[in-house]
Amino acid sequence: MANFFALLIDLLKLALPALVLVGGLYWLLQKHYEREDRLRAEQAQKKDTRNTEIITPIRLQAYERIVLLLERITPSNLLLRISPAGQTAAEYHRLLLSEIRNEFNHNMSQQVYMSEPAWQQVNHAREEVVKLLNKTFQDLPESARGTDLAKRVLETLLVNEQDPTAQAINTVKQEVRQTFGS
């Protein structure tokens, strides 16, 4: 039995330093991984902050551009900006539609920064302006001038008391307030 205890003590003498060494290595590795996790979390937070600092102004600019698009294709603004002077109604109609198409195509990429319902409202507003111009043009005689088309469009807006872009502008503004808390 004494031999057994002596053997056990010899084994402990050999194993104890190994256990201490393994325990120390485990503790060091655990501290290392904790530090790495903390550094990764800090870097992710910095990256999120950088993304917010970069993306937020870009998104706000996108919303601004969309509101500007809507304001520019609002029929009353469009008619003021593009003069019908010296043009037939057909020429003026083509020019107005071309301007709407160009404005829309120039700002189409902004949709990636807004919600799908907001973008659908913008698209719907554009379609409503085009419908208004098309219907008004179709109701004119062939000999009509560009000024006749402009006058009829404005009369139609006054009678309907509704701007085809107003709802989309309100939707975009509301989304900005909800998203950015302003």
Total domains, the chain:
1
CA distances from 121 to 102, 118, 154 (A): 18, 5, 22
Could you tell me the residue range of the domain that residue 57 belongs to? 1-180
This prediction has a pTM of 0.72
SS (H, E, C) 51-117: HHHHHHHHHHHHHHHHHHHHHHHCHHHHHHHCCCCCCEHHHHHHHHHHHHHHHHHHHHHHHHHCCHH
One digit per residue, the tens of pLDDT, for the chain of length 182 reads 777 767 767 766 776 677 677 777 778 878 888 888 888 877 777 766 666 777 888 999 999 999 999 999 999 999 999 999 999 999 999 999 999 999 999 999 999 999 999 999 999 999 999 999 999 999 999 999 999 999 999 999 999 888 999 999 999 999 999 988 75
